[in-house]
Structure 1
Amino acid sequence: MKVIIAAAGTGGHINPGIAIANKIKSEQPNSEIIFIGTERGLENDLVPRAGYTLKTIEAYGFSRKVSIGNIKEMYKTFASIKEAKKIIEEFKPDVVIGTGGYICVPVMLAAKSKKIPTVLHESNAFPGIAVKMLSKKVNLILVGFEDAIKKLPKAKKIVVTGTPTKLRKMELTTEEKKKITKEFGFKDYEPRVLIFGGSQGAQSINDSMIEIITEKSNRGYQIIWAAGPSQYDIIKEKLNEKGIDINNIQSVRVVPYIYNMQEIMNYADLVVSRSGAMTVTEVALLGKPAIFIPFPHATENHQEYNARVLEDACAARVILDKNLTGTMLDQNIYSIISNTEVLKKMGQNATKIAINDVEDKIYKEIIKIIKQ
């Protein structure tokens, strides 16, 4: 099988594409898979690192603002259909898959003109502009959340498959938990709250955390806080100005980044984070209660829509970024973490939302489309 995957920009678009590629390779080792992206996004690092060839075209995101720059970029994006056609003609794929984002527009239109089967995967509960534009043109749309279906009324066919993720639910042994607890300098008997704001951190969440630490509000719970590589030193300095040593805060462990996220998320009792599609998917899959603070500048406010899916299932609480303070965050954390029944019920409700065997479902749908 020969496959082209269009994925560009952020990890939220690229990582599902890589997961789909890996699944195809595991089922059909002789498959040939290439990616199409741009010269600007994370795909230039993530795709080659995953072992796949990346071809690039000159495509740009869509903006509702009217300006000379945006008009030029839109022209270049539609002109890049010709570039995508050339790649498709040379590679001769059996199917072209897009995992959301602006790159999908020229690549899917090029594939459609060549009568190649097309599949889109949309991770968010509120589909992006590109997916909505292409919904009536592609053969199949796979979605991460059932809520996305009603927002794509013109689609030919939609299947709810969930979103592929690297994280898996683990039942940590008592010894494994004790080992992590010792590494963090935590107490065995106090609940653990994992706080992060995405790969680069989140300013508003970090400001609230500084407030909580300064006021010593976190009574009755322990904090693992991934502040983000770009913000860690700034936070370290801010805390230092208040006479607080970032490496010696009682019941708090601050790190720039968590590399063993699967282990730590399974270890935590509660998650506080932004609500990108991948994070919401992982929280549900691991059955973790959550407090989501959606990124307010996400395209079409899709992070809030993602968060509301779990809130509606009584599996999470949502605090809007504009309302976030250290006091509000602490009160919400404590009200959940101090009530074992609430904690347990929220976790169970999260599990009910989770979709299992995601890669298997996606692979089967791709094969069906090729065989049609």
Structure 2
Amino acid sequence: MTNPVLSVVLAGGGTAGHISPLLAIADAVKDRSPEARILAVGTAAGMETTIVPAAGYELATIPRVPMPRRPSADLLKLPIRLYRAIRDSARILDSAQASVLVGVGGYVSAPMYIAARRRRIPIVIHEANARPGLANRLGARWAKAVAVAFENTRLPRAEWVGMPMRSAIAHLDREERRPAARTRLGLATDKPTVIITGGSSGAASINRTIAGSLDVFAAAGIQVLHITGRGKQNLDAAGKPVETEHYRQLEYSDGMQDVYAAADLLIARAGAATVCEVSAVGLPSALVPLPHGNGEQALNAAGLVAAGGALLVPDAAFTPEWIAEHIPQLFADPSTLAEMSAAAAGMGIKDADERMAGLVAGAAGES
């Protein structure tokens, strides 16, 4: 029986890559059904403990259940940890009188999927990466709807909807916002601009390359904003953060819409959110996938690179020499960046959050 009031439980967390689409879906559900009840589920140790309440949503937590990669004492503890997480998940779903469970992957999703299946609560999945995670591969077997951010993601019955993102990014007019965004970030409004980010925690290899490339940027008249990650700033001989006419550092930025508006070129890891967001806003990029893991970041970037909207640079090849060979050349001919911008925009999907809200409503109506 359908609940009189739509009650949506969203499972995911741990990293911004899971939390951001989760919150975008929550906002779109509320826009579509203002009376809907929303509950997010994460762990007590993830970034969601601060980000979700700050966004105005209630958060429940269950124990983190990591999957050991090799035989160990943790593997022996897995059954009891999973049992407890499923038990707690069932209690949360019962208390919320859930109409539908939406999962975006991560440690909490698998036990939530199992509990929802046992309760016959419809499941909707969003997979952010081109190579799906274990939890979503499991949940997709039972889901009413499976949505993916990338067209090449392989999951059963997958529907390509794009990446749910905040409206401030999805509907960003970069040209209109550029002067104000540069001013807010402490940049000159009239200089060619490169912004570098290694994500919320920074990327040491990217930071080293940028530190060794400051003369190249200065000689080309390009100003740089380097978002280093907390505690990872580039320091001078006196132990103070390096600051020059052409180079400025921040440890973190919580306003990526300003970053995207201010930049003529973004240098970044190829996380799913980054790839989808630079596409949505039409921002040229040089993407440096993580050198470890299962290769998902290179897969995330593949479509955008093939379309001509981004350059792909292996981490080992991202050196000061690569910067000197490629970046000044990109800026020497304005048509090059303009063509990359148009190619990126052609890959962008701006309404993924609304598409997901429609899938959620449809699944709940079938319960």
TM over 0.5: yes
Is the contact made by 2:11 and 2:112 (CA closer than 8 Å) also made in structure 1?
yes
Is the contact made by 1:6 and 1:103 (CA closer than 8 Å) also made in structure 2?
yes
Alignment counterpart, residue 357 of structure 1, candidates 332, 351, 361: 351
Letter in 2 for 1:352: G
Matched, 1:256 2:251: yes
Alignment counterpart, residue 280 of structure 1, candidates 275, 278, 295: 275
Is the contact made by 1:191 and 1:220 (CA closer than 8 Å) also made in structure 2?
yes
Q: Which structure carries more relative contact order (alpha carbon 8 Å, separation 6+)?
A: 2
* CA distance in structure 1 between the partners assigned to 2:112 and 2:185 by the alignment: 48
Relative to structure 1, the CA distance from residue 338 to residue 77 in structure 2 (aligned partners, 3 Å threshold; closer, same or farther) is farther
Is the contact made by 1:186 and 1:251 (CA closer than 8 Å) also made in structure 2?
no
Is the contact made by 1:20 and 1:164 (CA closer than 8 Å) also made in structure 2?
yes
Using the TM superposition, name which of 265-274 and 72-81 deviates more. Answer: 72-81
Shift of 1:183: 6.9
* CA distance in structure 2 between the partners assigned to 1:256 and 1:57 by the alignment: 31
Letter in 2 for 1:306: N
The corresponding residue for 1:196 is 197
Matched, 1:289 2:284: yes
The corresponding residue for 1:309 is 303
Letter in 2 for 1:278: A
Q: Deviations over 1:82-111 (max 9, x none)?
A: 221122222221101101112111101110
The corresponding residue for 1:169 is 172
Letter in 2 for 1:162: G
Count of matched residue pairs:
358
Letter in 2 for 1:344: A
Is the contact made by 1:62 and 1:74 (CA closer than 8 Å) also made in structure 2?
no
Shift of 1:78: 4.2
* CA distance in structure 2 between the partners assigned to 1:195 and 1:341 by the alignment: 22
Shift of 1:177: 1.8
Alignment counterpart, residue 36 of structure 1, candidates 30, 41, 48: 41
Alignment counterpart, residue 327 of structure 1, candidates 317, 321, 325: 321
Matched, 1:47 2:48: no
Matched, 1:267 2:259: no
Taking every aligned residue pair, what percent have the same amino acid on both sides? 29
Aligned structure 1 segments of 4 or more residues deviating by more than 6 angstroms: none
* CA distance in structure 2 between the partners assigned to 1:86 and 1:245 by the alignment: 49
Matched, 1:108 2:134: no
Q: The residue matched to 1:194 in structure 2 has which SS?
A: strand
Shift of 1:349: 0.8
The corresponding residue for 1:227 is 228
Q: The residue matched to 1:240 in structure 2 has which SS?
A: coil
> What 5-or-longer segments of structure 1 have no aligned partner?
none
Relative to structure 1, the CA distance from residue 283 to residue 215 in structure 2 (aligned partners, 3 Å threshold; closer, same or farther) is closer
Letter in 1 for 2:161: T
Is the contact made by 2:265 and 2:283 (CA closer than 8 Å) also made in structure 1?
yes
> What 5-or-longer segments of structure 2 have no aligned partner?
1-5
Alignment counterpart, residue 186 of structure 1, candidates 180, 185, 188: 188
Letter in 2 for 1:277: A
Shift of 1:182: 9.7
Relative to structure 1, the CA distance from residue 269 to residue 82 in structure 2 (aligned partners, 3 Å threshold; closer, same or farther) is same
Q: CA RMSD in A?
A: 2.3
Relative to structure 1, the CA distance from residue 322 to residue 67 in structure 2 (aligned partners, 3 Å threshold; closer, same or farther) is farther
Letter in 2 for 1:159: E
Using the TM superposition, name which of 33-42 and 70-79 deviates more. Answer: 70-79
Is the contact made by 2:216 and 2:324 (CA closer than 8 Å) also made in structure 1?
no
Is the contact made by 2:181 and 2:259 (CA closer than 8 Å) also made in structure 1?
no
Is the contact made by 1:60 and 1:103 (CA closer than 8 Å) also made in structure 2?
yes
Relative to structure 1, the CA distance from residue 205 to residue 116 in structure 2 (aligned partners, 3 Å threshold; closer, same or farther) is same
Is the contact made by 2:174 and 2:260 (CA closer than 8 Å) also made in structure 1?
no
Shift of 1:303: 1.3
Matched, 1:16 2:21: yes
Q: Deviations over 1:331-353 (max 9, x none)?
A: 22223222222211111111111
Matched, 1:240 2:237: yes
Relative to structure 1, the CA distance from residue 7 to residue 143 in structure 2 (aligned partners, 3 Å threshold; closer, same or farther) is same
Q: Could you state the TM-score of these two structures normalised by the residue count of structure 1?
A: 0.89
Relative to structure 1, the CA distance from residue 326 to residue 182 in structure 2 (aligned partners, 3 Å threshold; closer, same or farther) is same
Relative to structure 1, the CA distance from residue 320 to residue 182 in structure 2 (aligned partners, 3 Å threshold; closer, same or farther) is same
